[in-house]
Structure 1
Amino acid sequence: MTRRASTMPPLARLIGCGLLALLLIGPPSHAAPSLRYPAAPESDVTLPLVIHGALDLPQVRPLLDAFHRDHPWFAIHYRNLSTLALHERFLGSPGEADVLISSAMPWQYRLANDGHAQPLETPAARRWPAWARWRSELFAVTFEPIVMVVNEAVIARFGEVRSHADLLTLLERREETLRGRVVTYDPTLSGAGYTYAIEESRLSPRYWELVAALGASEAALAGTTGEMLEGLIEGRYLVGYNLLGSYARERLADHPHLRIVVPEDYTLVTQRLALIPRRAPHPAAAQRFVDFMLGERGQQVLARETPLGALHPALEGPGTAAALRRRLGEALRPIALGPGLLATLDDLKREALLSRWRREFARRERR
């Protein structure tokens, strides 16, 4: 019998990481947490800048702090929203925000594709990697792997788990031991889980075997990375599959018995996408901020002071895409920024994939 994760953690606001944000969790838009940075009193000119982001305040604060130090004449208002609330608020008030930042890659792409974004033609934007931008209107600004989390007790008893193939073997051989002690996304409810399912079904010929093995182990199904991390920390689960690596890295820093595994066979990578709305009220301010995020200064902040990961091609060292690429090479599979994202929003394709997921997840339970 399929188990749902039993509690909703204090970290429920982490739903902002969901790529489609189908869960109606997160602060209502009218009460969204926010940060305000007043312009410096000595500034001769005060320029407003309004940013809406599906990015929690502790993670975005270092970036905003650095930008404000370098540009003290901007009066910045950052509003933190879930991806769903951000998208709906924009459609209702397309002239409210100067910048949108969201991990809802399909929805951000649709906004740009439908003509809601304006171009950025700065040197940094023109130099940005072609795979990390769409035209000059949509830019990936983070590099966040999708990971597993494994309790050290499992590794000590059954050996290393380094890949999806290792996880499949573990689930098949230790089904009884791990029954009810594994947790993953519910793709029928979670946009993140749904998007990862689409990508993995394309990447791996053994993906559906893994889904069946998860079903046989009676894996708990959760709606957010935060929910999974809470259960792993509390000891209710021993293995977590397909968690957002940036949140896991930050949350598990003080829990050494939980190991973050970046799979060696293939690792999905999601990115937060930034765009400047065509009706942005302060377009010059928006251009300056997005240019900062794409420049070495802003990307260094992301690499060194946040768990989000920087993808600037000139940056090396921990917290950069270059470091991950050196380690994993062709195993890294960034979710492509292109027309394929729109397919994830097609109702018929969505229902077809979810029907198979339900069938495969339940297949071994009927034996």
Structure 2
Amino acid sequence: MFRSSPLNSGSVSRRQALGFGVLGAATLAAALTGCGSTNADKPAANAVPEGFPSYYPADYSKIVDASKAEGGKLTIYSNTDQENWAPILRDFKAKYPWTQVSADNLDSDEVFQRQLSEMATGKAPADMLVSNAVQAWASYGEKSDTLMEYDSPETKQLPDYAQLMPNVWAMSLDPVGIAYNTALMKEAPTSIAGLAKTVTADAAGYKNKITTRDVKGAWGFTVSHAFAEGSSDAWTGLDEILPSARPESSSGTQKEKILSGEYVAGFFISSAVGYPAEKASGGLVKFVLPTDGTVVLGRGIGITPKAPHPATAKLFLDFVLSETGQNAVAEGGLSSYRDNVELSEGRHTYQEVEKLAGKDGIIRVPYTMVPDAEVTAFVSKWNAQLGS
């Protein structure tokens, strides 16, 4: 507490005393103002860097600066098509102009096989892995030192199911559906049971004209097994379709052969291929979600344990999970899942899948391992049904 002292009239005039008092008051006020200004500046010093949401940490600029020091390079091993990546890489580059991202398009299993083999040599160039092969992710994650520990500031802004496993988030939540050639199949198959009914009515005509995914691959097994487990009448329809079906190792191959007419229809095709194919084909290819059970896969994204460019990898992960990133995800044909994604023609969201398939009709696949014995039994049963 400040306490005033009595003036000595014998040594200081009244005018001087008043002047001193005014000056002292002014000096004190200035000092107090200066102190107040310093306290007011403290929150600014701890403020989130410009251009980032308020929930980002105050020292996030260190990651930005570190990315610049790395040269902004980023290598991603993924099973995602370039047309899906295009808007994401464009908008990431717009936000971080110094970055250079290379996103390889590999087979689902190859993403992990390549990373593990390169890790064994001590020279692993990939910074990030992106894949929706659940079994492969679960197997990879069970091994030690395969993922970098990182807590994205976006995590708390996302639904609980956004984190698929420790240090792996969903870049998108993509449904799996039926694609068909509208010129060759007049009656639209809206369910697996409906497709089975159509095939059964003309078994000779549909022989080898239906395609499905190869269940010996991680992705094919995951979606097929998930449907069989998640739909009570699954095998009733599958038993009728499989004798007319041939397996393919990728949705891209299936799409091309449906377009050409080699196949009339395909089931368990990724929407990442199905939606863009429908848009680009001018109506020749139609993609639908089965009403008797729609499998939804999280497209996992994670940072490798010894990423050559860890800061840029963190920037990319946070961007993909952000509102801007999720809008780019939707623009590229993948299904985003943030509530504030702008809906327009050609964009798809997980919320849309819930409306079309119904919450009870969605079969969401957890990132956990299926026991080997169960995998072997399922693959044997499935392949025994396939036509020659």
TM-score with structure 1 setting the length: 0.76
Q: Deviations over 1:174-232 (max 9, x none)?
A: 323423322222324x433222221122112322222321244x323322222222222
Offset of 1:153 from its aligned partner? Answer: 4.9
1:168 corresponds to which residue?
Answer: 196
Answering whether residue 137 of structure 2 is matched by residue 129 of structure 1, we say no
Over 3 Å counting, the alpha-carbon distance change for 1:138 and 1:347 in structure 2 is same
1:348 corresponds to which residue?
Answer: 373
Offset of 1:247 from its aligned partner? Answer: 0.8
Offset of 1:353 from its aligned partner? Answer: 0.9
2:7 corresponds to which residue?
Answer: none
Answering whether residue 352 of structure 2 is matched by residue 323 of structure 1, we say yes
1:103 corresponds to which residue?
Answer: 132
Residue 129 of structure 1 aligns with an amino acid whose one-letter code is P
Match of 1:337 among 354, 359, 366: 366
1:34 corresponds to which residue?
Answer: none
Offset of 1:261 from its aligned partner? Answer: 1.7
Residue 141 of structure 1 aligns with an amino acid whose one-letter code is M
Do 2:72 and 2:98's aligned partners in 1 also have CA atoms closer than 8 Å?
Answer: yes
Answering whether residue 224 of structure 2 is matched by residue 197 of structure 1, we say yes
Match of 1:84 among 87, 109, 123: 109
Offset of 1:296 from its aligned partner? Answer: 0.4
For residue 154 of structure 2, give the secondary structure of its aligned residue in structure 1: helix
Larger radius of gyration: 2
Task: Give the Cα–Cα distance (whole angstroms) in 1 for the partners of residues 101 and 256 of structure 2.
Answer: 33
Task: Give the Cα–Cα distance (whole angstroms) in 1 for the partners of residues 73 and 203 of structure 2.
Answer: 57
Q: Which aligned segments of 4 or more residues in structure 1 are displaced greater than 6 angstroms? A: none
Q: Deviations over 1:41-74 (max 9, x none)?
A: xx78834333222222232122112111101133
Over 3 Å counting, the alpha-carbon distance change for 1:121 and 1:348 in structure 2 is same
Residue 226 of structure 1 aligns with an amino acid whose one-letter code is G
Task: Give the Cα–Cα distance (whole angstroms) in 1 for the partners of residues 205 and 77 of structure 2.
Answer: 45
For residue 348 of structure 1, give the secondary structure of its aligned residue in structure 2: helix
2:181 corresponds to which residue?
Answer: 151
1:221 corresponds to which residue?
Answer: 247
2:283 corresponds to which residue?
Answer: 256
Unaligned runs of 5+ in 1: 1-42
For residue 232 of structure 1, give the secondary structure of its aligned residue in structure 2: helix
Residue 67 of structure 1 aligns with an amino acid whose one-letter code is F
For residue 190 of structure 2, give the secondary structure of its aligned residue in structure 1: coil
Q: Deviations over 1:309-338 (max 9, x none)?
A: 212233252321122222322255354333
Task: Give the Cα–Cα distance (whole angstroms) in 2 for the partners of residues 80 and 359 of structure 1.
Answer: 31
Task: Give the Cα–Cα distance (whole angstroms) in 2 for the partners of residues 122 and 205 of structure 1.
Answer: 38
1:307 corresponds to which residue?
Answer: 333
1:55 corresponds to which residue?
Answer: 80
Unaligned runs of 5+ in 2: 1-67
Do 1:131 and 1:337's aligned partners in 2 also have CA atoms closer than 8 Å?
Answer: no
For residue 270 of structure 1, give the secondary structure of its aligned residue in structure 2: strand
Answering whether residue 150 of structure 2 is matched by residue 120 of structure 1, we say yes
For residue 221 of structure 1, give the secondary structure of its aligned residue in structure 2: strand
Over 3 Å counting, the alpha-carbon distance change for 1:300 and 1:187 in structure 2 is same
Report the RMSD for the aligned CA atoms in angstroms.
2.7
Answering whether residue 205 of structure 2 is matched by residue 180 of structure 1, we say no
5 Å-filtered alignment, 1:261-300, equals: 261-300=288-327
TM-score with structure 2 setting the length: 0.72
1:4 corresponds to which residue?
Answer: none
Residue 326 of structure 1 aligns with an amino acid whose one-letter code is K
Task: Give the Cα–Cα distance (whole angstroms) in 2 for the partners of residues 69 and 231 of structure 1.
Answer: 36
Offset of 1:146 from its aligned partner? Answer: 1.0
Do 1:144 and 1:244's aligned partners in 2 also have CA atoms closer than 8 Å?
Answer: yes
